[in-house]
Amino acid sequence: MGDTPKSHPRYLSLKTRDAIVAGVEKGITSLHGLVAHGRGEALDYLLGERTHPFARRAARAAAATLLLAERPVLSVNGNAAALVAADMVRLGKAVDAPLEVNIFHTSKSRERAMRRHLLEHGADQVLMPTRKAELDYLDHNRRFVHPDGIFKADVIFVPLEDGDRCEALRKMGRDVVVVDLNPLSRTARTATVAIVDNVVRALPLLVQEAHELAKATPRRLRQLVARYDNAKVLADAEARLRRGTR
Ligand code: PTJ
């Protein structure tokens, strides 16, 4: 995949780009996903392409929130499927949550390709959107959900997307854990927990946190959630972003 030598100073970034392009070629990622990825790259560049303490704090609270959930569901879109399919599967096993395909840019063939891709990466079960259950407050494709998945979930994990579904789910009383490189986005601002980091770094960290907290008592998990301050995390992330590469 690609022809980037390991010695290239931007090797990791270029390999991630190869993965998103491969997602488009495999019919998993939309062309719009390339544009979204470019925006993410620019923000990641300003964040120094590394995981900051504010993202670590959020990842810990995110893992605790998912472990405490009664019906957690991990939502997957075309970009997440291309970049972090194996880690999404690992996270699902670590917090005992099914994966559910949910995309903005309507395409049945892409939904099917994503499902195949997730199964190839070890998923036991992949829930698909249906016409039997719809989320409130949304007029587009992401409102169609699985009746036993997102529709009934108390906590939904949403890696990188635009914010209207996060807002809708919050209005419906659900907790939403997101990954988004943009601390100013509606997704990050309306989420219960926002991990401001690249999904390619945030997902392995989240899996690690979920494993580390697996044996924690519910009391300890509730403490972690209660002490978490999403507004502070976003303020720290924004301050870091504004400092840029200096
Ligand atoms: O597969 P679909 O049809 O559901 O479409 C998915 C995309 C991502 C194309 C769609 O949800 C979309 O258009 O999203 P936006 O509005 O471009 O928002 C994407 C957000 O994710 C932006 O805030 C980006 O900064 C952020 N982002 C992009 N790449 C990454 C990222 N955040 C974390 N890690 C990344 N690699």
Three-class DSSP category at 101:
strand
| CA neighbor of 99 nearest in space, from 79, 120, 78, 72 | 72
Quote the tokens at residue 172. 């419906």
CA angle 86, 55, 67 (to 5 degrees): 60
Question: What residue has token string 């099917």?
Answer: 112
Judge if the beta carbon of residue 161 lies within 6 A of ligand 1.
yes
Substitution candidate for ligand 1 out of 16, 160, 179 with most atoms within 8 A of CB: 160
* DSSP 8-class letter at 135: -
- Name the maximum alpha-carbon separation found in the chain: 51
Judge if the beta carbon of residue 43 lies within 6 A of ligand 1.
yes
- Nearest-CA residue for ligand 1 atom 28 is 40
* DSSP 8-class letter at 195: E
Q: Where are the beta strands (DSSP E) in the chain?
A: 72-76, 99-101, 126-127, 133-134, 144-145, 155-159, 175-179, 193-195
pLDDT value for 52: 97
pLDDT value for 10: 83
Query: How far from chain centre, in Å, is Cα 111?
Result: 17
Three-class DSSP category at 74:
strand
Q: Which residues contact 161 (CB under 8 A, 6 or more apart)?
A: 77, 104, 142, 187
Judge if the beta carbon of residue 140 lies within 6 A of ligand 1.
no
Judge if the beta carbon of residue 199 lies within 6 A of ligand 1.
yes
Question: pLDDT below 50 — which residues of the chain?
Answer: none
Backbone torsions φ then ψ of 162, nearest 5 degrees: -75, 165
CA distances from 37 to 20, 24, 31, 234, 245 (A): 8, 12, 10, 20, 20
- CATH of the domain spanning 53-243, picked from 3.40.50.620, 3.40.50.12640, 3.40.50.970, 3.40.190.10: 3.40.50.12640
Q: How far is the CA of 39 from the centre of ligand 1 (A)?
A: 8
Q: Do the strands 144-145 and 133-134 form a parallel or antiparallel pair, or are they unpaired?
A: antiparallel
Quote the tokens at residue 48. 């120094």
Judge if the beta carbon of residue 39 lies within 6 A of ligand 1.
yes
Judge if the beta carbon of residue 185 lies within 6 A of ligand 1.
yes
pLDDT value for 244: 79
| CA neighbor of 111 nearest in space, from 99, 97, 129, 135 | 129
- Nearest-CA residue for ligand 1 atom 27 is 40
pLDDT value for 2: 60
- Nearest-CA residue for ligand 1 atom 10 is 161
